[in-house]
A and B are shown apart, each in its own frame.
Chain A
Amino acid sequence: MNTRQQNKITYSWYGKPMSSDRKLRTSQYKGILITSERSRTETCIQLGNFILVEGENADQPFVAQLLDLYEDGAQQKHAVVQWFSHITEIPQNKRKLLKREISPQEVFFDQVPGYDTDIAVETIIKSIMVIPLRLGEELPVMLNKEQTFYVKQSWDGKCFKALSPDTFSKLKEARKKEGGIPNSSNSLIPSDIISPLKKETENVVRSTTKPKNVELEIESKHSASKSSLAKERHSQRVANDVKTPTARKKLQLNSPIRSPKGRLLGSEVLELLDDLCDAVAPLEPSATKRRVKFTGILGSPPKIPCANEKSKSVLDTAEDWQRFKDTIQLSPHSKVSDSNEKAKNLNVKDDTISLIGYQKRCSQSPVLSPCSRRICVQKTNTRIAEQVSILNALELNQEEDFLSSSDSSYSSSSEEEKDDVLCTPEKKTKSSRTLSTPKSSRKSSVHTPAKTPKKTPLPGTPKTPRNATPEIPRRNHAAQKPASILEEARLRLHVSAIPESLPCREEEFQDIYNFVESKLIDGTGGCMYISGVPGTGKTATVHEVISCLQQAAENDELPSFQFVEINGMKLTDPHQAYVQILELLTGQKVTATHAAVLLAKLFNTPGPKRKTTVLVVDELDLLWTRKQNVMYNLFDWPTQKHSKLIILAIANTMDLPERIMMNRVASRLGLTRMSFQPYTYKQLQQIISSRLNGMKAFEEDAIQLVSRKVAALSGDARRCLDICRRATEICEFASQKRTPEIVRMAHITEAIDEMFSSPYINAIRNASLHEQIFLKAILAEFRRAGVEEATVQQVYHQHIALCRIEGMQSPTISEIMAICSRLGACRLLLVESSNKYLHMQVRLNISQDDVMYALKDE
């Protein structure tokens, strides 16, 4: 993809406008030419073709079908598409509805309302194959995974449905048409072979797609931009093949790898082709015409690419014909045909290597008008289709043979692919291809792991398996159910227990809900800043809003959206925010700087099929950096026209934007603010009652007491719940012997005392006698000096004086130092580093009154 971006690519209309609307000043076209300047390639995509469209994630382009092409009044090129959803685009919780394994190659006919089907032409990457299949059908095993997708079901945002016969036939039609379009790079399969007889169809598809695979394999070795080179070479080779078999043989001699079977080939293919034509002739009167066609090609070696394409497709069909003939007439000889094919493929490769010199000449001298040629080929194709359907009918009897033939051809082709890899001189995709080869050659359609994501855009490529997230081991014994009413209450009062609804935050809930909802409906972006002291339910409310919105989106009342949450405290560095957002949005893991670039691109460029993103940034203040670029970017994205980003930023301080943000950041954050007031005691009471939900575990007064206490202190709901929980424990502890009782005032008081009482007083009271005397000595020294700081030496003298009064043995300096450092470790005292020995300064860490109060009672 990167190379694509560096490339200059021009998009131009193919052909003349089909119709134009005067009023709207639009004109419609039937195809578009994509010209890559660097590699001088030209691809033509026509209406009805299947295409890849650039997605927000470079690894995951969207699949779509081109329905309409038009140019509007402003000279902008537009395309109308029918989307196909990849499995990764379907919400996780809906995937289980499918009840089956989904191959990464499978897409769903998208009927989700709300996706913009009008896209800019510039987002089209290339054309691909989409093959409709019946629901029960197996995916045909294809080697060329990147180019081909299958569709079995449709997806309307809520459930999966089998394709309606109408869409099915339409898709098939489109594919047929595609097969007949000469310029499309995928025009090589006669897709018409799909017959109503299912089982058989599948087999046919499997076998017939083989040659195409080979073709595309060659192409995919080159980057997208180079693929047409390969085509040209290929067609040149075709021409050579047809014209001078001997010359080709010479080339073969030059080739690095040669199988004995390869020698079989050369002229034999031609012979077979001739045979085939002969065999068909009686059945089909126009067979002669085809021969004429051939000769036409023979006669004009220098061709424009478009003509080459045609000749190639003709040859391909011929190849298919050959296969059919084999299966019908020469089923015992299927081996021979296999080897032929194989050898031929070797040639394909050889030619690619050796015939590079030809390409320029080819593209320089156009002789035949592409249009007429195309028509011819189309005709031929339809004829072939007719014949094939007849043949299919014949084949019914020979299914066994057919199967064996297709199998052997399959295995041979996988071998080819290996050879292919070995001798491909292309560097670009080689590594990824060699990786994928062993897997794809396996019969089961295991999708290829470890693709280099940038070079081979494949939707649904699984991430490296090493990134599997670990899990804490499961417990061996089941967790006990709460046995008593107190245990049950404790469970419900735990902060982690999520209540059905959040009481007391209805207004805030409604405000946030309305904000996000309106933005969602408008399809615009915006920011909201939510502040409030810890434990006032900010995050919980936002989460509830999001889950309500998600519910609404599921019920189709709102457009669906993506929800991403980051927490400043859970990041090691503010810049990691980019990484986390990107990972949550697209699943990519990149470095912070790269993530910033990707996110900027994602939000700043109009993308098709983009959902609104709701981003919750918790603990916003921790995203502060000196240059504030993280915050700047976060709040800048929603202001972009196409971003569709809604940000809910949460922090503690009400005036955070004014205090720590630069003007340009604060201005982007906007003025939509909301502040969560600390809970009042009534609200806290309601919160506890609603959690207890009518359970008789607490006295009413007890609840009121705890609510009032906490409301007076902080209004932190977490604290409130913690106290209640502790009170249940105390209650349980106290009433162990007697009958179970409910939590009373006394228990609450005890719990509150335990949590909020200052530890210092108790610490002083439990200190040893000399430690207490030392504190007294400090007080005495402070009083003497009038300064609240003293050296140990000064305190020591006071200490000795006190000891004499008390009639106690006075401690040595070493002991005094030890006492001092012990009190310092508890932080009753603040002491300097001890290397100053007697001269270190000592201060009290608590008020003198507290010390006196603590020592008085003794």
Chain B
Amino acid sequence: SSQIVTKTNAFATRMLSGLKFLTYCCCQYRHLLELLKRTTVHGESNSALVIGPRGSGKTALLNWVLKELRKMKQVRENLLEVHLNGLLQTNDKVALKEITRQLQLENVIGDKVFGSFAENLAFLLEALRKGDRTSSCPVLFILDEFDLFVHHKNQTLLYNLFDISQSAQTPVTVIGLTCRQDILELLEKRVKSRFSHRQIYLMNSFDFKQYIRIFKEQLSLPAEFPDESFAQRWNNNVQRLPEDKTVQDTLQNLFHYTKDLRSLHLLLMLAVSNVTVHHPLITASDLQEASRQHRMDSRANIVHGLSVLEICLIIAMKHLNDVYEGEPFNFQMVYNEFQKFIQRKAHSMYNFEKPVVMKAFEHLLQLELVKPIERPSVRAQREYLLMNLLLDNNQIMDALQAYPNCPTDVKQWAASSLSWL
């Protein structure tokens, strides 16, 4: 069993490292590699943006390129890297400090506690101005979540970085990573003019066949796996898996839903976690089950855990939505609707007191299945606060189907608001 555990662990790491799938974007890879190589070898300044939706492998691509670059001796010893992230460096002041720290320039100042923002900027600009193309060590600036840097005041940092990259100073290359397609429209005209307009797009532009291949590659055990016979058995199984119709359907559904490879990883993780000593190979049903979990609607799940009274209230709200076409309602309306049902139709339901119903209603409020339109104020009575239902009819009906021991009259009532007439 320990073997299985290690195997699963091996999977986990492999799946998260996620370098295999990049084979499809070799064009972008070459572009970026050449760009960075020229920076380090020739000391050429550049700026580029890597743009692609979330999970399309922007950071992975960059890391892959950097890994390749570091294999070259001439590059490894010649490149200074500065990694910034828009989520961490929330303003230029923090960013400047971080740059200074990563360039290891803070020791030059000695004991001096780092001064004001203005001093900092002047200091850094001075440092970068001093260098020149042929003698200074090139600096690679990597700005993750580039779009967040755009919102800094005056775009000072971006202006200065791009300005340096377009003037005869220390060679710098600025690589921005972002998922926003409209990023160029966010740059100020001066900043935009200084940006060299190299855009590397990562688009998940693979088709389903490639997707299946990626799926296989992700699941295959590597050659260095200790138990060779098992690895072979496992890999054979993985190769045969996509031939199964249900597996294909599952993957097709996921592929149609999203091309983001992180979803695939998540699905595979769920499937692989079912593997035990007694169940050593992954099967189609595992995948199907994983897919079911993966696609689960979170709100509908909450509905499963509600009491019958709460379900009744939700059904009452659904009817109100139908009648008033999505207009907001208040507790009193819901209570009236519920009362009508109790009086005329219900046989199995006990007639609850109003405060009890109110309690159930507030529980729904806490679960955020209903949401007040405006913030509750002290003056407004709770019964008359206007609400919106955050569930769709389809969700309610699906949830009712799956709800255990639901009274038949409630189900009937849910199906048609007019059935009791």
Contacts and interface: CB of A to CB of B under 8 A. Distances in A.
Contacts of B199: 754-755, 759
A827 B159 contact: no
B180 A813 contact: no
B180 A826 contact: yes
Interface string B22-41: 00000000100010000001
Nearest to A732: B34
A705 interface: no
A745 interface: no
A769 interface: yes
Contacts of A839: 388, 390
B11 to A, nearest CB: 24
Contacts of B203: 762-763, 766
Contact of A652 (B41, B135, B139, B190): B190
B140 interface: no
A478 B134 contact: yes
B259 interface: yes
B382 interface: no
A490 B44 contact: yes
Most buried by B among A473, A487, A652: A473
Interface string A806-837: 00110111110011001001111000000011
Contacts of B41: 479-480
B50 to A, nearest CB: 12
Interface stretch (B115-123, B218-226, B330-338): B115-123
Nearest to A476: B77
A472 B130 contact: yes
A770 B166 contact: no
Nearest to B203: A766
Interface stretch (B63-71, B102-110, B237-245, B274-282): B102-110
Interface string A452-482: 0000000000000010111111111111101
B299 A570 contact: no
A766 B118 contact: no
B85 interface: no
Given A718-B166, A726-B198, A827 B395 contact: no
A569 interface: yes
Contacts of A828: 181
B352 to A, nearest CB: 28
Contacts of B112: 466
Nearest to A496: B168
Given A478-B134, A716-B193, A494 B44 contact: yes
Contacts of B295: 811-812, 814-815
Nearest to A498: B168
A571 interface: yes
Interface string A206-242: 0000000000000000000000000000000000000
Contacts of A468: 108
Interface residues of A, number: 80
A24 interface: no
B166 A496 contact: yes
A479 B197 CA distance: 25
Most buried by A among B110, B154, B391: B154
Contacts of A652: 189-190
B156 interface: yes
Contact of B256 (A490, A768, A845): A768
Interface in A353-408: none
A495 B166 contact: yes
A742 interface: no
Interface in A555-576: 569-573, 576
Given A472-B139, A729-B34, A766-B205, A477 B77 contact: yes
A770 B44 contact: no
Contacts of A676: none
A797 to B, nearest CB: 8
A470 B109 contact: yes
Contacts of A534: 189-190, 192-194
Contact of A480 (B42, B193, B258): B42
A474 B53 contact: no
A722 B196 contact: yes
Contacts of B169: 496
Given A813-B395, A825-B53, A839-B388, A473 B257 contact: no
Interface in B239-261: 253, 255-260
A495 B103 CA distance: 25
Contacts of B296: 812, 814
Contact of A496 (B45, B77, B368): B45
B257 A768 contact: yes
B204 A472 contact: no
Contact of B180 (A766, A812, A825): A825
A769 B256 contact: yes
A839 B74 CA distance: 56
Question: Can you list the 4 inter-chain pairs with the closest CB atoms, starting with the nearest?
Answer: A534-B193, A470-B108, A766-B203, A812-B297
Given A469-B127, A569-B156, A822-B53, 6 more contacts: A470-B108, A490-B44, A496-B133, A496-B167, A760-B181, A822-B258
Interface of A: 466, 468-480, 482, 487, 490-491, 494-498, 533-535, 569-573, 576, 579-580, 619, 622, 652, 716, 718-719, 722-723, 725-726, 729, 733, 754-755, 759-760, 762-763, 766-771, 793, 796, 800, 808-809, 811-815, 818-819, 822, 825-828, 836-839, 845
9 contacts: A468-B108, A479-B41, A496-B165, A569-B160, A763-B203, A800-B394, A813-B297, A826-B53, A837-B390
